[in-house]
Structure 1
Amino acid sequence: MSQEAFLRRGADILASQPFSRLLGVEIGAVAPGRVELRLALRPELQQQHGFAHGGVLSYLADNALTFAGGTAFASDALTSEYKINYLRPAVGELLIARAEAVNAGRTQAVCRCDVFAVQDGVEKLCAVAQGTIVKLSQGE
């Protein structure tokens, strides 16, 4: 599949997810086993201290992990499990989640994701995640 086809497929998947549309997530890049998701950090996505809400970071990591696994399979996929570590408060104008499949078998992939907050053009790592992604069988 071409890079343009991957981007179109990724954009179509995001457009089909009501929660992703609500948040305004965009696909920055996608390739087999890799993805970058971007989200403008608006005030309504922050908690009381002005940091990105942990649930927003967790959503980005989860979705990026599943995209990475799905593109590794070239199939629809679901998250089986994931773990996230918050490293520092996420402040800035933009959040970026970059995920990759570390290993992909026939039915499951182990993926990792780094989530960055961008402030004044500088990326700072604010969370890391790892998850197991499973290939969605036809009929599920």
Structure 2
Amino acid sequence: MSVSPEVFLAMGREVLAKQPFSVLLGTELVALSPGKVDLQLALKPEHLQQNGFAHGGVVSYLADNALTFAGGTAMQVPVVTSEFKINYVRPAVGERLIARASADAVSKTQAVCRCEVFAVKDGAEKLCALAQGTIVRLSE
């Protein structure tokens, strides 16, 4: 079954709206296509740690969720994260975080995905984290 890009994005936004933690943080699904996603989060004081950087848990959450959206849309089945690794490459400082993920190796049972997380400050994106994860079909 093929749906328009607008309908696909709307379906993804429905899934995100069913995630209470994502709603609590204020996560936005900006772009979605099979195997690719762009999640964003406007940073609030509650998302920061004591030095004014986005908390590592917030950066990690955004990467994990982006990886799962990328894998789930590539596999077109309900999925969960089996594992993921994240490298923080610089403090996340700015007004917004952007997580862009893609599914790079997809089979019937799993997808290995990559994600880049950027901090946006004054309109400029700076890479702050790289993540890779394995997304697996949710057992019934």
SS of equivalent to 2:53: coil
TM-score w.r.t. structure 1 length?
0.97
| Separation of aligned partners in 2, 1:14 and 1:125 | 24
Name the counterpart of 2:31.
29
Q: Structure 1 stretches of 5 or more lacking a match?
A: none
Matches within 5 A, 1:75-90: 75-90=77-92
- For residues 60-75 of structure 1, the aligned pairs below 5 Å read 60-75=62-77
Shift of 1:136: 1.8
Per-residue deviation, 1:75:
1.6
4+ residue runs of structure 1 moved beyond 3 angstroms?
none
Matches of 1:93 and 1:78, distance apart in 2: 29
The residue identity in structure 2 corresponding to 1:27 is L
Over the aligned positions, Cα root-mean-square deviation in angstroms equals: 0.7
Q: TM-score, normalised by structure 2?
A: 0.97
Residues paired across the two proteins, number: 138
- Unaligned 5+ runs, structure 2: none
CA deviation string 1:62-89 (max 9, x = no partner):
0000000000011211000000000000
Tell me the distance in 2 between the aligned counterparts of 1:75 and 1:67. Answer: 11
Identity percentage of aligned residues: 68
For 1:14-62, what per-residue CA distance to the aligned partner results, in whole angstroms no more than 9, with x for missing partners? 1000000000000010001000000001111000000000000000000
